[in-house]
Amino acid sequence: MLVGIVGPCASGKSTLGQALKARGLRVRQVAQEHSYVPRMWKLLTNPDFLVFLDASFEVSTRRKNLTWSEREYEEEQRRLSHARQFCDLYLMTDRLSPEEVLQAVLRALGLEDQSAQGV
Q: How many CB atoms lie within 10 A of CB 75?
A: 13
* Helix intervals (H) in the chain: 13-22, 40-45, 57-64, 70-79, 81-86, 98-108
* Backbone torsion region of residue 87, taken as left when φ is above 0, otherwise alpha when ψ lies between -120 and 50, otherwise beta: beta
Spatial separation of the C-alpha atoms in residues 20 and 40, rounded to whole Å = 22
Which domains does the chain carry?
Answer: 2-116 (3.40.50.300)
Q: How many CB atoms lie within 10 A of CB 46?
A: 11
Total-model pTM = 0.85
Per-residue pLDDT of the chain (119 residues; tens, 9 = 90+): 999 999 998 999 999 999 999 999 999 988 755 555 656 766 677 899 999 999 999 999 888 777 888 998 998 898 889 889 999 999 999 999 999 999 999 999 999 765 554 44
